[in-house]
Each structure stands twice: as structure tokens, then as C-alpha cells.
Amino acid sequence: MQEVETKPSGVTRWLQSLRNWARKRSLWLLHMNTGSCNGCDIEILAALTSRLDAERFGVKLVGSPRHADIMMCTGAVTLTMVDALRKTYEQIPEPKFVVVVGSCGSTGGVYKGGYNTFDGVDKIIPVDLYIPGCPPKPEAIIMGVAKLIEKMEEER
Amino acid sequence: MNEEQTSFNIGPQHPALKEPETFRVIVEGERVVKAEAILGHTHRGIEKMAESRDYNKTLYLAERICGICSFAHNANFARAVEFVADVKVPKRAEFLRVLVAELERLHSHLLWLGVLAHEIGFDTFYILVWNDRETIMDLLETLTGNRVNYGMNRIGGVRFDLNDEIKKIMRDKIEEFKPRLEKIRDVVLNSKTIIARTNGVGRISKDLARKTCVTGPTARSSGIDWDLRRDEPYFIYEQLDFNVPISDRGDVYSKIILRVKELFESIKIIEQVLDLIPSGKIFQDVRGRFEGKAVSRIEAPRGENFHYVEFRKSKNPYRLKVRAPTYANVVSSVEALVGHHIADIPVIVAANDPCFSCTDRTLIIDRDKGRYQIMSARDLRKLSVETTKEVMQ
């Protein structure tokens, strides 16, 4: 079958911008620990609880991958978590975004070269955004999510 | 497994907090008949990695064994290497180590209290406790420059010093923190929700505690009077005056009260450290290659933390062996699950302050009928919250 490139009509573009506008105000977050030391995990929660309260941006922690928009991964991926990571990623409905929090999820960090770790989440699944730090401060995590929203706006 | 029994897995991925772990639970109706823990999802091979790094680099690796009790691992490894190198750590450094260790205990216990409140569906208390916890995180950040992995220790001492300005900030914040801690105590003692969901739940008897070798607050809540800070004093704990709270009930509620009592003791220790801290050097320079082996044990927030190091005329450790408290405590929580409802699973597992709670994707498989059901963490937590509502009516 021959693929035909079609230019989106005005109505479609308008609908797309409406979709993006609606999406960026209610990002639901799935937290996935792929073998981290818990440092990043407690900082993600610190970003979501009272002091910084990321929920005011519509960011909310959910339990099931099927409800999530963003998957927040922490930790250099260990061998036993590879399958769980892939399965969880596949369960998230489109459009989905993957954010990696922490140095070891981005590059391997201190665990680089270990026999039981992959050096980073991007070896397994595509990643949209990296937040470096060991662990990043909650402010940095919120800034990362804000950058992701900017990125989503560009995508329209 | 007979026809009425159902088996399901909890984990490894879960949303609430912490590490991925799997629990395989067999239930009869709503009651748990058998449970087992499947560990090892966060095995990163740290002990092997340590063998190819020198002791200064391993210090940072040891800190990242656990992000919540990072200081305990870091200080424990430093202490073990100091034994091998035969270095005398300056007094001021030991005071500073105790200061950070107790601040860490405060933040870890508050974190645990919030998580437990979240598991029983008492989110107001969770948010309240986590707000108070930020005060402690600020103090840690003021002193060390980081909120979680402090990088406080070096072999032979500590890296960051306390000056009068920081001392004043600490005194002020601790003074400010005390009334809030009293409020937390009042909530814990009087809240009907907490009592209804935790009193008598997940009881670990003294015999079971001994059999499963539990440590830390889990052991003390089951009547085992053992605290390394008092019984085998390290750093400068023998100069300080504090009590070790103990309870013999062994259920989740007694663990909450015990940890709140420990919070008050930690405050007491911090105030004494700020009063007694001597002036002087904060580290002793350590260089070269070592030979020998040493064991160091210190009381982390969750229990006894064990490090063994061996050097053979080298800078890299020939062997590093770590035993963290959760590994000891998880067996007892698995035993404690038997006889309780599915809705109590998150509470009981979280009660031992493991580095994981059980939520997320729960797969219910009925092997005999070939029927399976996927239960999300959300459902599991919803079940827990609904139980709270039912109990409260």
C-alpha cells in the first residue's frame, strides 16, 4: 500500500492543540523503581507532598500503569526488573512519556559496570527526559516535569 | 493447595514507595493462609563492585546501598575501614557522626509513619507528617549540602563541620519541631482510625521474633530489649543519656508508638550532642594500603547494620559483606501475614519499615479453576481504605 502524506486540516490541528492543552494539565504519574537505592524515590514523594505539592500542576501519583501518562523510572535497571519494566511500559496507553530520575537511571551512575545492572533505563525502553542528580532535589524533579510539558507543547 | 484456596502475587512494581519486591500469597476467601517473599529485585552486585574500587570510592558506593539509611551504611563502612587502618577518629568527628545519624533516624521514622498512615487511608496524617519531615531534611541540607545521600563521612572522620551559625539554626529548628512532634504523638494516641486499623494486627510474638532473628524497632516492639547504641556503644553513645523504649505487644500499633517514642529520644540525643560537642579536628588523614579484616555493627533506623571488610595489602577491599536490617525483618512480616485479611497486607508489610511496601499490580490466579484476575495496587489500597471506613462506622 502506498503511503500518502496528508497535511492535517485546520480542524484536526485545532483538535490536536485542544488535546495537548487538556493533556498537559493532568499528567498522571506512575512511579517505577527499577533497582534504585530509594534515594530518588523518596525525593519524588517529597516533590508530591506538602512542601512543594506538585499536585497543584495536576501531577498525581497513580497505582496502575493503565491510568498513567508519565512513567517515572529510578535506578539502574537490574536483570530481574527488565521484564517488569518492559511489561509495565507496554501497559501504559498512548501517548506515554518516560522520565528518568537520577544519575544511575540515566547512565548507570555509581553502579556502572556492575554484573547485574544495565547502565540506564534507555537501554531497555525509549526515554523522553533525564533528570540528573544523586538524587535530584524535589525542585529539580518538578522542573523536569515542567520541561516535559514544554516538550509536549512543541509536539503538536 | 485445595480448591477453596487462591494464590496471588503482589509486585514487583508498585506505586506507593520504595523497592520492588514480590509477595506470593495464598488466600482462602479473604484470609491469608500462606505467604512467601521473593527478594532480589534490587540486587545490584554492590559487594562485587566494591572489590574493584578503592576504599574512598567504596565509601560512596556503600552510601548508595540504601537511600533512606544512607548515613548508617556510609558510617558503618568508614568505621570498619578505620578498624583495619587502625586510625583514631577525632572526638568532634564522632559527635558529628552521631548528630547526622540521629537526624537520619528522625527523617526515616517520620517517613515510615507517613507511609503507614497512607496505607491505612489516613492521608491527612501522611501529608502532615511529611511536612514536619521537611524540617529535618532542611537541617541535613544545611549541614551537609544534600538532602538524601549526604557524603558526610570520609575514612578517618567527617567532611563537613558545624559552625556557630549552623548550630543556632539547628537549635531553633529543633525547638520549633518539638511541639509538632507532640502533636504527632497526640494524633497517634487518640486517632480512632489508627487504633482501629492497627491495634492487634500483625502480631509478632517474642518467640517468632527470636526465631526469625528480627532486629531494630521490630525486635524491640516484640519485647527483645536490644539496642546497639546502649548495649554495644559505638562513636560516643556511652557519654549520652537516652532511653531505649520497649514494648511486648508486637502488633503494628505498638510499633507506631515505639517509633514515636524513639523520635523523642533522638531529639534528646541531638540536643546533648549540640551541648557537648568539643572543638578540634574533624578528620585524621588516612592513606596507603591496609591488611586485615574488621566487622562493624551500628544501629540504623531499621535495625542492626553489619559490615565486614577484608583488605589484603591493597587499597581495594578484598571482600565486603553487608547485612541490612530489612533482610532480617522481612521473614517475620511474612509470618505475621498468616490469618489476616488481604486488606491488612499493606499495613503489616509496611509496619516493619521495609524498604518496600506491597501495592501495585497484583495477579490473582486460581490454579485449579484456571481463572486469574489482575488486581492493581490501586484496588488493593482501595480495599484497605474501604476497610478503614467500615471499621470506623
| CATH number of B280's domain | 1.10.645.10
Same domain? For B303 and B372 the reply is no
In a domain, A145, yes or no: yes
Domain end residue (candidates: B276, B293, B323): B323
Selecting from B13, B61, B70 the residue whose C-beta is nearest the C-beta of A84 gives B13
Average pLDDT over residues B50-77: 89
The verdict on B109 touching A (C-beta cutoff 8 Å) is: no
Distances (CA, A) of A83 to B41, B43, B193: 11, 15, 39
pLDDT (0 to 100) of residue B14: 53
| B376 contacts chain A (CB < 8 A) | yes
Lowest mean pLDDT among B21-30, B105-114, B191-200, B330-339: B21-30
Looking up residue A93, the CATH number of its domain turns out to be 3.40.50.12280
Average pLDDT, chain B: 83
CB-based contact B42 A137, cutoff 8 Å: no
Cα(A70)–Cα(A67) distance, rounded to whole angstroms? Answer: 10
- Residue A105 in any domain: the answer is yes
Confidence at residue B160, expressed as pLDDT on a 0 to 100 scale: 92
Q: Report the 3 state secondary structure along B272-338.
A: HHHHHCCCCCCECCCCCCEEEEEEEEEEECCEEEEEEEEEEEECCCCEEEEECHHHHHHHHHHHHHC
Label residue A66 by pLDDT band (50, 70, 90). Answer: confident
Return the percentage of chain B with pLDDT > 90, whole number: 41
- B280 to chain A, any CB pair closer than 8 A? The answer is no
B69 three-class SS? coil
Rounded to the nearest 10°, the torsion over CA B44, B45, B46, B48 is -160
Band (B182; pLDDT cuts 50, 70, 90)? very high
Do B73 and B204 lie in a common domain? yes
For residue A153, what pLDDT is reported? 76
Structural domain contains residue A131: yes
**Residue A57, domain extent:** 27-154
Position B361 scores a pLDDT of 27
The reply to whether B240 and B318 lie within a common domain is: yes
Same domain, B231 and B357: no
Look at residue B141 and tell me whether its pLDDT is greater than 60.
yes
What is the count of structural domains for chain B? Answer: 2
Name the pLDDT band for B213 (thresholds 50, 70, 90).
confident
Same domain, B354 and B301: no
Contact B12 A80 (CB under 8 A): yes
The answer to whether B7 touches B26, Cβ cutoff 8 Å, is: yes
pLDDT at residue B350 above 90?
no
B383 in contact with chain A, both atoms CB, cutoff 8 A: no
Whether residue A136 contacts residue A123, with contact meaning beta carbons closer than 8 Å, is answered with: no
Query: Is it the case that residue B375 has pLDDT exceeding 80?
Result: no
Task: Kindly tell me if the per-residue pLDDT of B203 is higher than 80.
Answer: yes
The CA-atom distances, in angstroms, between B134 and each of B35, B142, B147 are: 36, 12, 10
Interacting residues of B179 by C-beta distance below 8 A, sequence separation 6+: none
Binning pLDDT at 50, 70 and 90, where does residue B326 land?
A: confident
Residues, chain A? 156
User: So what's the pLDDT on residue A39?
Assistant: 87
Q: Which band of pLDDT confidence, cut at 50, 70 and 90, is reported for residue A45? A: confident
Mean pLDDT of B125-130: 91
Q: Are residues B226 and B245 in the same domain?
A: yes
Q: How far is A62 from chain B (nearest CA, A)?
A: 7
**CA of A108 vs chain B CAs: smallest distance (Å):** 11
pLDDT at A128 over 70: yes
Q: Which domain does B65 fall in, by range? A: 46-323
Test mutation, B44, B149, B184, B358, chain A, max A CBs within 10 A? B44
pLDDT for A150 equals 84
Domain boundary among B323, B343, B358: B323
Handedness of CA A75, A76, A77, A78 (dihedral sign): negative
Asked if B43 and A78 come within 8 Å (Cβ–Cβ), the reply is yes
Give the mean pLDDT of B201-223: 88
The reply to whether A8 falls in a domain is no
Burial zone of A25 (CB within 10 Å; 0-12 exposed, 13-18 middle, 19+ buried): exposed
Q: Cell match 502488633: residue?
A: B251
Given B42, B148, B360, which is nearest A42 (Cβ)? B148
Percent of chain B with pLDDT over 70: 86
Min distance B110 CA to chain A CA atoms (Å): 12
Nearest-CB residue to A117 (from B14, B44, B379): B44
Half-sphere exposure of B362 (CA within 13 A, CB side): 28
Q: Which of A53, A50, A31 has the alpha carbon at shortest distance from B133? A: A50
Chain B residues near residue A115 by CB distance under 8 angstroms: 45, 48
CB-based contact, B13 to chain A, within 8 Å: yes
* DSSP conformation class of B365: E
- Cell numbers linked to B308: 565486614
Residue B178: all three cell numbers together: 518539638
| CA-based nearest residue in chain A for residue B65 | A37
Mean of per-residue pLDDT scores for chain A? 85
Query: Do both B281 and B335 map to the same domain?
Result: no
User: For residue B363, what pLDDT is reported?
Assistant: 34
At B278, the pLDDT band (50, 70, 90 cuts) reads very high
Residue type, A114: G
Whether pLDDT at B310 is above 70: yes
Q: Which of residues 189-248 of B touch A (CB under 8 A)?
A: none
- pLDDT band, residue A4 (cuts 50/70/90): low
Q: Distance between the two ends of chain A, CA-based, in angstroms? A: 27
Task: Tell me if A10 is assigned to some domain.
Answer: no
Q: Which range, of A100-104, A105-109, B370-374, averages the lowest pLDDT?
A: B370-374
Chain B, window 15-44: residues with a beta carbon less than 8 angstroms from a chain A beta carbon: 15-20, 40-44
Put simply, the answer to whether A65 touches B48 (Cβ < 8 Å) is no
For A114, the closest of B40, B49, B128 (CB atoms) is B49
Cite the DSSP H helix spans in B120-163: 123-144
Q: Are residues B146 and B294 in the same domain?
A: yes
Pairing of the two strands B362-366 and B371-375 = antiparallel
Domain count, chain A: 1
Q: Do the strands B5-10 and B319-323 form a parallel or antiparallel pair, or are they unpaired?
A: unpaired
Q: What is the DSSP letter of B368?
A: T
Helix, strand, coil percentages (3-state) for chain A, rounded to 5, are: 45, 15, 35
Residue B8: predicted pLDDT: 67
The pLDDT value recorded for residue B269 is 94
Q: Could you give the C-alpha distances from A3 to A6, A134, B102, B128, in angstroms and in order?
A: 9, 46, 66, 57
For residues B67 and B141, give the distance between their C-alpha atoms in angstroms, rounded to a whole number: 15
Q: Quick one: pLDDT at residue B369?
A: 40
Q: Å from A60 to nearest chain B CA?
A: 11
Angle formed at CA A40 by CA B71 and CA A49, multiple of 5 degrees = 105
